[in-house]
């Protein structure tokens, strides 16, 4: 785009510091777009000056200031909207038939080297030309292309699944046929979220889509004409309409309005601090059988011990130096819980399993949305997939979800619990317990008095499943259950540990707890 157009148990849960390959990155600037309204004016400006000369690309839109509402924040996303509407610009005394917005961080976010990461949905349709890119802040080497340009993402609507990454310098640019860049084909960028990123240092600039390298350009150590990328640059987000590239096949007026949605923008600087090695929180591995508090995940940071999709601790409790969202829990154990979980997040825990056997896992959870699903792994091997988590009616209304068949091998390992799907669920703790040896009781036809031996409350039918076809009635000292329900006395609905029950069966049978 030329100038005048202008990051073991894992709970799938983002961090201030992320580790990418051998590099350590520290977050230095970000916008998560969590506040509805106009874009944060301490970080973004509306750029309109180039309307005076059609941005050098014969573009068909006027970029508008904030009051035209071509860009706003809503439901956690920045929205840039291109519309088919007339807009007069006094600078060139022209009325254009399309409007859009061009947001820049110049003077509010300028960086020399680092990593830029943007998660976005793109507009689509013939005539669209969205871009995520960077320009020199002070243009010390002169006007475009002398001071350089780095295109993190460009897309043209008539070729909707192709993403282009380019650099422009005085020596290398398309206007003289020496352009340097590359492209990649991805899946429906207008309906699927993708992450577009750049990593830049004194020797190289590399462009990525979803972590996959698209284009890399090395410093040739000649002059600024080949490498002007040794000065601060700022970020730009925009949708152009038409123009010398975007309008090659015309503009389809039936597609409007079109939007680019941005989930987040994050800028990192490379750290001299070596990555933190993963280890058990507190220095000792969690023991199984036993209870693991979910907030006691391993140390190591983002992409090492956890992945969280926001860069700060939303609950601002307990481990406030981590990005995992932790808040005080109102559950009976009086500790903390993990909250604000979203699909794609995870946590890791180092554990020591005492004995190879099958364990029962009790997950203490809550949620007030559509529920979610968790998956569990040990050293990358699936233990349980898509464990369903219900809506409990309130964020602090806690319930148990039980999985009876978790097979674990003895020894130290890292178990993963992963958010497979989520409308946000809260996690308090995981309790791994040994399975009791089944108890068998011989019942005679008629009334039998038994004691309920399980520590888990169950419904009458679930607890007596092994003899249910023979059960006629059940009672304790206070209530009664008649299977036929003809008398309306079915006030007994659950069996509870430590209580005695009379069970009337139609024939001799064997009860298995």
Q: Which of 24, 117, 149, 295 is catalytic?
A: 149
Q: Of 100, 20, 18, 30, nearest to 65 (Cα)?
A: 100
SS3 484: coil
Whether the CB-CB separation of 361 and 406 falls below 8 Å is answered with yes
| 136-174 b/e (C-beta count within 10 Å ≥ 16 → b) | bbeeebeebbbbbbbbbbbbbbbebeebbbbbbbbbbbe
Residue 237 half-sphere exposure, CB side, CA atoms within 13 Å?
Answer: 30
Measure the CA–CA gap between 120 and 103, rounded to whole angstroms: 14
Distance of alpha carbon 489 from the chain centroid: 50
Tell me which DSSP letter residue 302 carries: B
Q: Between vectors from CA 147 to CA 146 and to CA 153, what angle results, nearest 5°?
A: 105
Measure the CA–CA gap between 325 and 297, rounded to whole angstroms: 12
Residue 392 half-sphere exposure, CB side, CA atoms within 13 Å?
Answer: 19
Measure the CA–CA gap between 324 and 190, rounded to whole angstroms: 30
Measure the CA–CA gap between 509 and 471, rounded to whole angstroms: 10
Question: What separation, in Å, do the N-terminal and C-terminal C-alpha atoms of the chain show?
Answer: 70
Q: Which of 32, 59, 154, 348 is catalytic?
A: 154
Return the H-helix or E-strand segment holding 245: helix 243-246
φ and ψ at 461, to 5 degrees? -65, -40
**119 preceded by a cis bond (ω within 30 of 0):** no
Residue count (the chain): 513
Q: Is 314 a catalytic residue?
A: no
What are 138's two structure tokens? 């002070």
Q: Is 154 a catalytic residue?
A: yes
Q: In sequence order, what DSSP letters do the residues of 342-366 get, joined into one string?
A: -TT-EEEEEEEESSSEEEEEEEEEE
Place of tokens 């099958």: 358
φ and ψ at 32, to 5 degrees? -95, -5
φ and ψ at 65, to 5 degrees? -75, 180
Measure the CA–CA gap between 64 and 87, rounded to whole angstroms: 8
What are 8's two structure tokens? 């073991």
Active site residues: 149, 154
């Amino acid at each position: 785009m030329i100038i005048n157009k202008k990051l073991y148990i894992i709970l799938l849960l983002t961090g201030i510091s992320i580790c990418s390959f051998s590099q350590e990155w520290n977050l230095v600037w970000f916008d998560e777009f969590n506040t509805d309204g106009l874009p944060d004016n301490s970080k973004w400006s509306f750029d309109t000056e180039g309307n005076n000369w059609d941005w050098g690309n014969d573009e068909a839109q006027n970029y508008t200031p904030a009051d035209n509402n071509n860009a706003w924040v809503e439901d956690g996303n920045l929205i840039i909207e291109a519309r088919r509407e007339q807009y007069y610009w006094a600078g060139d005394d022209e009325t254009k038939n399309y409007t859009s917005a061009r947001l820049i961080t110049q003077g509010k976010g300028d960086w020399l080297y680092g990593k830029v990461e943007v998660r976005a949905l793109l507009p689509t349709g013939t005539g669209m030309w969205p871009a995520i890119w960077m320009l020199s802040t002070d243009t010390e080497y002169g006007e475009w292309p002398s001071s350089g340009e780095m295109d993190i993402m460009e897309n043209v609507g008539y070729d909707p699944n192709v993403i282009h990454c380019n650099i422009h310098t005085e020596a290398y640019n398309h206007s003289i046929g020496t352009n340097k860049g590359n492209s990649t084909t991805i899946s429906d960028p207008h309906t699927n979220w993708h992450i577009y990123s750049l990593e830049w240092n004194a020797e190289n600039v590399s462009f990525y889509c979803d972590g996959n390298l698209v284009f890399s350009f090395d410093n040739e150590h000649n002059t600024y004409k080949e490498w002007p990328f040794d000065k601060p640059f700022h970020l730009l987000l925009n949708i152009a309409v038409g123009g010398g590239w975007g309008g090659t096949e015309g503009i389809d007026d039936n597609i409007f309005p079109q939007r680019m949605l941005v989930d987040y923008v994050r800028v990192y600087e490379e750290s001299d601090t070596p990555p933190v090695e993963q280890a058990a929180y507190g220095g000792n591995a969690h023991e199984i059988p036993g209870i693991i508090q979910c907030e006691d995940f391993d140390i190591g940071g983002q992409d090492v011990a956890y992945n969280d999709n926001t860069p700060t601790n939303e609950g601002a409790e307990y481990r406030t130096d981590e990005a995992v969202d932790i808040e005080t829990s109102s559950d009976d154990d009086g500790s903390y819980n993990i909250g604000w979980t979203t699909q794609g997040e995870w946590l890791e825990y180092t554990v020591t399993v005492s004995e190879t056997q099958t364990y029962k896992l009790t997950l203490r959870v809550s949620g007030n949305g559509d529920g979610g699903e968790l998956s569990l792994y040990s050293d990358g091997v699936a233990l349980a997939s898509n464990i369903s988590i219900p809506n409990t009616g309130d964020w602090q209304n806690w319930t148990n979800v039980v999985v009876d068949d978790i097979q674990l091998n003895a020894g130290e390992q890292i178990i993963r619990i992963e958010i497979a799907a989520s409308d946000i669920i809260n996690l308090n703790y995981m309790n791994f317990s040994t399975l009791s040896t089944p108890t068998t009781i011989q019942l005679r036809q008629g009334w039998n008095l038994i004691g309920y031996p399980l520590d888990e409350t169950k419904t009458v039918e679930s607890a007596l499943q092994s003899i249910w076809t023979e059960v006629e009635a059940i009672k304790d000292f206070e209530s009664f259950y008649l299977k036929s329900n003809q008398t309306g006395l079915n006030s007994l609905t659950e069996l509870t540990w430590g209580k005695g029950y009379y069970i009337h069966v139609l024939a001799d049978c064997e009860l298995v707890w």
